[in-house]
Chains A and B, each alone.
Chain A
Amino acid sequence: MLTIRVFGGDCPNCNQLEKMCFNVLAYNSMDADVQKITDIKKIAEYGIMHTPALVINNKVYCSGKLPTEKDLFRWFRLNLIESCNLQ
C-alpha cells in the first residue's frame, strides 16, 4: 500500500507536486492514498521546514524542491515492493 502525503501551502510548486504525483500514479496504474496537507500545524508536526515536501509511507523523500517524475516513479515503486515484502 502506498500512503502519499504532499505538504505545502497554495503556492505553484506545491500544487505542481500534487499534480505530478497523480500523473505518475495514473500513468503507471498505481493505487495510492494521496492527501495534500496544507495545515501549518500538521506540517510542523511532521517536522517539515521547507515546502513542497513529499512523504511516502512515513518517510520524507524530498523537501523544498520539486522532484522529477522519474524520481517519483522510482520512489513509488520502491515503496510498493517494500510493502509487498512485508506482507
Chain B
Amino acid sequence: MKTLALSIPKDRKKVIIPLLLLPVWILIYFNLDSSIKYFVYSIINLPLENKFSDAVFFFIFESIKVLLLLVIVIFFISIIRSYFSPEKTRKFLEGKPLFAGNVLASMLGIVTPFCSCSAVPLFVGFVEAGIPLGITFSFLIAAPMINEVAVVLLFGLFGWQTALIYTGSGLIIAISAGYIIGKLKLNRFVEEWVYEVKSIKQNSVDEKISFAERIDYGYTTLKEIVSKVWIYILLGIAVGAGIHGYIPENFMAGIMGKTEWWSVPLSVLIGIPLYSNAAGIIPVMMALIEKGASLGTALAFMMSVIGLSLPEMIILRKVLKLQLIFIFIGVVGVGIIIIGFLFNIIY
C-alpha cells in the first residue's frame, strides 16, 4: 500500500483525492433524510409527532445538508474563480458599450474573487482604466449580492427554483441599476482624488499556476469561508428550527404577507442597516416563509440585507460623495422593491 502511495506524484494525488471523495459525498447527501430520521427517532429515541423532535430533526437535517452543499460548491467555485482576477475583469470590460458592459460586469461580478475590503481599490482601478461609472456599479452590486453562500443556502433550503430566481433577480437589479446610474452621469459625485490617481505601472510576477495549485486554492478558500460562516448557519438554522417547531402557521402572514403592500418597502428599509451575512439570514427566512411570509417580501428582505450593507457603504464613502451613495442605495432599493412586488403578484 505504501509503495502505491509513493508511486503517485503529489500533484496527481491532489486531483485524485477529491475525485474519490465525490462518491462518498453523494452517498451521504442522498441518504441524509433516512439516516437522520433513524438517528433522531430510533437512536436518541425522540417521540414522533412532537414539536421538539420536529425541531431537532429540522436542525440536524438542514445543518448537515447545507454544510455538505456548501463544501462542494465553494470548492468548485473557488477553482473556477482562480481563473479570474480583478485585473483580468478590468481588461475585459475596457471599452465596452454601456448596456453590454453592464451585463458583462454583473456576470463577472459573480465569478471574480472579491471581498468588500477591496471595494475601494477595485473602484479606483476601474475608474482609472476609463471604465464608465455605471458599469463599475453593476460589478459592485452583483459581486456581494450574488455570492456562493447565499445561492447554496437558497438551493439547499428552498430548492433550485428560488436559487435561480434570486440569482436572476440579482443580475437584473445589478444590470439595470448600473445602467441607470451610468445614464444619470454622476461623475461629479465621485471624490476628486480618484481621478487624479496615476498608478505606476507595476511589473507583476505572473507565476504559472498548476491545476494542483488551483485545487489547493480551492481547499484554502473552502476552509476560510466555512470557518467564517458555519456558526451563523447553525445559529440561523437553530432559530429557524425554533420557528418551525413552535410558531403557529400563518403567524407571519399579517406582517410579511402579500396583502399588506407596505410590507415590501418596509422589509427593504429594515434590511439596509441590518448587516448579517447570507448565512445567518436565509435559514430564518425559510422558517418565516413556512409561517406565512410571502416569497416576494422575504426575497426583498434578503436582497436588501445582503446586497445593501452599511459597512460596504462606509467603505465606499472614501471614493463616493454622500449624494452618490444615497442615489446608489435609492436605485438598488427601488429595484429590490419592484422585484419583491413582482414575486408577490406572481406567487
Contact = CB atoms under 8 A, between A and B. Distances in A.
Interface in A21-63: 40-41, 43-51, 55, 58-61, 63
Interface in B118-138: 118, 120-122, 124-126, 128
Contacts of B224: 13
Given A44-B125, A64-B86, A64-B113, A50 B118 contact: yes
A84 to B, nearest CB: 18
A65 interface: yes
B203 A58 contact: yes
A50 B319 CA distance: 16
Interface in B186-224: 193-194, 197-205, 217, 220, 224
Contacts of A46: 199-200, 202
A20 to B, nearest CB: 13
A48 B86 CA distance: 10
B42 interface: no
Interface residues of B, number: 32
A40 B318 contact: yes
A66 interface: yes
- Most chain B CB inside 10 Å of its own CB: which residue of A43, A46, A55: A43
Nearest to A48: B121
A30 B224 CA distance: 29
A47 B126 CA distance: 10
B115 interface: yes
B193 A41 contact: yes
- Most chain B CB inside 10 Å of its own CB: which residue of A48, A58, A75: A48
Contacts of A64: 85-86, 113, 118
Contact of B201 (A13, A41, A47, A61): A47
A41 B203 CA distance: 19
Given A45-B197, A47-B199, A65-B217, A60 B86 contact: no
A11 interface: yes
A3 B343 CA distance: 56
B121 A51 contact: yes
Count class of interface residues, chain A? 20 to 34
B202 A60 contact: yes
Contacts of A41: 193, 197
A47 B193 contact: no
B113 A47 contact: no
Interface string B302-313: 000000000000
A14 B121 CA distance: 14
Nearest to A7: B121
Interface of A: 8-11, 13-14, 40-41, 43-51, 55, 58-61, 63-66, 75
Interface of B: 85-87, 90, 113-115, 117-118, 120-122, 124-126, 128, 193-194, 197-205, 217, 220, 224, 318-319
21 contacts: A9-B117, A10-B117, A40-B121, A40-B124, A41-B197, A43-B120, A43-B121, A44-B194, A45-B199, A46-B200, A49-B118, A49-B124, A49-B125, A51-B115, A51-B117, A51-B121, A58-B202, A59-B205, A63-B85, A64-B86, A64-B118
The 5 closest A-B pairs by CB, nearest first: A47-B199, A60-B204, A49-B125, A44-B124, A49-B86
